[in-house]
A = this chain, B = another copy of it.
């Protein structure tokens, strides 16, 4: 039984002990190696994952260039909901930046979660609402914010990830070449 996942759910709704057991059977453990993909564009996103160890980057291919638009880490959910919810083909990629351990729930088992956990629908409604707002803000920032502002937001949102993510991935996230990143870093020490 993964305590972190249950704790995470219980931050939003209360669940009974039999529901805790059910949830434990619905989420399956899976390990990934650094460099493997959670999701490749052209495929359908089949799972929502809960990261218990490791880190991912979210990226899109724009004119042959990989552009990072987000990162995920421990105690966060990982998915491309735009593909997962309607089970459509994904235009986005999710790749592991470290060896990782996840708890995965399939589309079908998430329907069971909604049907059999009393507060399951409420949990889904609140989480999807949070993801919705986060997703819009991320996309707005991706297209509109200057590299300087994106760097400051990154440091603010993920202070612990600065040391874990290769510089060129941070550069791609804020939208500059790696050599420009070091200048921005110096200005924002």
**Quick check: is A122 within 8 A (CB to CB) of the other chain?**
yes
A82 contacts B136, C-beta separation under 8 Å: yes
Q: How large is the interface on A (under 10, 10 to 19, 20 to 34, 35 or more residues)?
A: 20 to 34
Contact of A129 among B128, B133, B139, B143 (CB under 8 A): B128
Question: How many subunits of this chain does the assembly comprise?
Answer: 2
**Quick check: is A37 within 8 A (CB to CB) of the other chain?**
no
CA gap between A82 and B143 in the complex, in Å: 17
CA gap between A137 and B137 in the complex, in Å: 13
The smallest C-beta distance from A120 to any residue of chain B, in angstroms, reads 8
Contact with B along A118-148 (1 / 0, CB 8 A): 0101101100111111011101100110000
The smallest C-beta distance from A110 to any residue of chain B, in angstroms, reads 11
When distances are taken between beta carbons in the complex, the residues of chain B under 8 Å from A140 are: 139
CA gap between A114 and B129 in the complex, in Å: 14
**Quick check: is A64 within 8 A (CB to CB) of the other chain?**
no
CA gap between A130 and B86 in the complex, in Å: 9
The smallest C-beta distance from A141 to any residue of chain B, in angstroms, reads 11
Write 12 A-B pairs (CB below 8 A) sorted by A numbering: A81-B132, A82-B133, A114-B122, A119-B121, A121-B122, A121-B125, A128-B128, A128-B129, A135-B135, A136-B136, A136-B139, A139-B143
